[in-house]
Each structure stands twice: as structure tokens, then as C-alpha cells.
Amino acid sequence: MLTPEEILRAFGERLASGDADGAASLFTEDATYAEPPAHTFTGRAALRDFIADFAARHHDVSFVVSRLLARPDGQEAAAMWRWAYTRDSDGQRRDFEGACFVTFRDGLIASWQGYSALVG
């Protein structure tokens, strides 16, 4: 079973490569994903569809965790990260810094509550 750090690293790598199926596979079937006020999804399929749509419209994507604190049992973690991408439609580069609180079940992400701010 992967550690929280390994799961979040794999999530970032799969986002960067546009692998919607791979990124979504890191979540439970009934996972919740929220980045208020912009996005809230319930279920692996909804998250996969969102990532696939995003990947079709953006390039030069990166998601890098800079700090992670996890419970010893690996069931919860808090992470600080940087998320960046370039929009295909106008070439605009967007950089965000954020944090998330993540709950894990059976080695997968069961819930993600994230917050971010545009920094560039």
C-alpha cells in the first residue's frame, strides 16, 4: 500500500501527464473532492471526467507537494502544494499555491478538501 506522500506524488505526476484514468484511480469510487468555491465532485467517475476535460484544454501542467504532514496510521494528511498550468485557448500561465486536507481509505483518497490562491 502506498504512503500518503507516494499517493500525492503519483496524483501530481498523473495530472502533469494528462492521465485522467490514472489520477482518478487514486481515489475511492465514492470519493469527494472539493476546492471551494470553484469545484466539488463526488465519485471517481466525476473526478476522472473533470481531469480529462482539463487535460484536453491545458498544457505544461505541474502539481508539486512542498510539505506533507500525515498521521502515523496514514489515514489523514495535510499538504501544501503548488499547481500550475498554461491554458491552450490563450496561452495564459496560471500558478496557484494551496493546501489540502486528505482522508485515505484502503490506500486510496476518500476525501480531499483543498484551498488555493492564484500567485502568478
pLDDT of residue 120: 81
Q: Could you report the per-residue pLDDT of 25-59, keeping only the tens digit for each?
A: 999 999 999 998 888 999 999 999 999 999 999 99
pLDDT of residue 1: 85
pLDDT of residue 19: 98
DSSP single-letter state for residue 19: -
pLDDT of residue 38: 87
Nearest of 58, 45, 56 to residue 88 by alpha carbon: 58
Nearest of 16, 14, 17, 25 to residue 48 by alpha carbon: 25
Q: Could you report the per-residue pLDDT of 64-97, keeping only the tens digit for each?
A: 999 999 999 999 999 999 999 999 999 999 999 9
**Structural domain tally of the chain?**
1
Domain that includes residue 90, residue range: 4-118
**Do residues 47 and 15 make contact, with C-beta atoms less than 8 angstroms apart?**
no
Model confidence, pTM:
0.95
Q: At 39, which CATH number?
A: 3.10.450.50
